[in-house]
């Protein structure tokens, strides 16, 4: 497998999506939903595990995780993290693209996870839906965290900086070119429709509707009290604002 666009991001990925003012809150919001959907003793498949942050968290709660990622550097970082946590017996890492995984998904799994926009980098979600339908047990949950198409924070952020093209980039037909690939921004309705009829939608919630996206980290760090307040309010109305969020958490149940 050739070098992946995410290889160059592996070293500093956790700084933005785990340790930062915004990343910490985003992780916490997603983990509340993981805790609600999954229990110790279950075996999950994680599509796009990145540096292994979620796999280590879930394995620490007593779950078994088969975690795949197409970036060799991300898998290496995940392997080091898993080893430091002493969880190598519960986290099974595979250097593999989602497209390759769909051809032979394995299983059966008790559930599935894909976090922080991994599925936005997949050209066609229909094969993913079919592979999860074939590999997840009836009653199993799939938690998909997808970047949405309508983000008022992004509009305001880039318009204030005189960059209207960036402000409305997520609405661009065919997606946005990024490091040699296309990133697409499907709506919650589109993703729910793609995963029918094998999955029923149980819940959709916002991550980053009142909170700004992570590229506003330096601004957020200067306004901690405001960020705390926005986070509290976002959690109260997260299901109402999912369609206006940087990411939405779509929870599905296998029929």
Residue 145 lies in a domain: yes
Residue 143 lies in a domain: yes
The answer, yes or no, to whether residue 2 has pLDDT greater than 80, is no
What's the mean pLDDT in 145-165? 97
Mean pLDDT score of the chain:
96
Where in the sequence is the domain holding 96, given as residue range(s)? 7-254
What pTM did the predictor assign? Answer: 0.96
* 27-55 pLDDT, tens digit each: 999 999 999 999 999 999 999 999 999 99
The answer, yes or no, to whether residue 227 has pLDDT greater than 80, is yes
Pick from 7-16, 61-70, 75-84: least confident: 7-16
Residue 92 lies in a domain: yes
| pLDDT score at 15 | 83
* 98-128 pLDDT, tens digit each: 999 999 999 999 999 999 999 999 999 999 9
Residue 60 lies in a domain: yes
Residue 2 lies in a domain: no
| pLDDT score at 114 | 98
What's the mean pLDDT in 206-212? 98
- Any idea what the CATH number is for the domain that residue 246 is in? 3.40.50.150
Q: How many domains does the chain have?
A: 1
What's the mean pLDDT in 185-191? 98
The answer, yes or no, to whether residue 1 has pLDDT greater than 60, is no
Residue 121 lies in a domain: yes
Residue 86 lies in a domain: yes
| pLDDT score at 82 | 98
pLDDT band, very low/low/confident/very high, at 94 (cuts 50, 70, 90): very high
CB 42 within 8 A of CB 74: no
Phi and psi torsions of 250, nearest 5°: -105, 120
| pLDDT score at 3 | 77
Residue 62 lies in a domain: yes
């Amino acid at each position: 497998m050739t070098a992946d666009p995410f290889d160059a991001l592996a070293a500093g990925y956790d700084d933005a999506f785990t340790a930062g003012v915004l990343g910490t809150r985003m992780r916490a919001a997603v983990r509340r939903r993981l805790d609600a959907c999954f229990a110790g003793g279950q075996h999950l498949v994680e599509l796009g595990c990145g540096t292994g942050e979620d796999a280590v968290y879930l394995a620490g709660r007593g779950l078994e995780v088969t975690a795949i990622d197409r970036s060799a550097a991300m898998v290496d970082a995940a392997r080091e993290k898993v080893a430091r946590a002493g969880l190598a017996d519960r986290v099974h890492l595979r250097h593999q693209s989602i497209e390759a995984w769909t051809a032979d998904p394995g299983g059966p799994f008790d559930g599935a996870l894909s976090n922080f926009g991994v599925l936005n980098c997949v050209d066609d979600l229909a094969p993913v839906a079919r592979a999860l339908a074939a590999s997840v047990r009836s009653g199993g949950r799939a938690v998909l965290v997808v970047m949405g198409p309508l983000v008022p924070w992004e509009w305001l952020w880039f318009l204030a900086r005189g960059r209207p093209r960036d402000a409305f980039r997520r609405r661009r037909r065919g997606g946005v070119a990024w490091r040699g690939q296309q990133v697409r921004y499907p709506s919650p309705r589109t993703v729910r429709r793609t995963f029918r009829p094998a999955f029923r939608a149980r819940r959709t919630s916002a991550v980053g509707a009142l909170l700004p996206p992570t590229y506003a980290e330096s601004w957020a760090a200067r306004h901690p009290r405001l960020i705390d307040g926005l986070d509290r309010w976002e959690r109260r109305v997260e299901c109402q604002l999912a369609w206006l969020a940087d990411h939405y958490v779509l929870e599905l149940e296998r029929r």
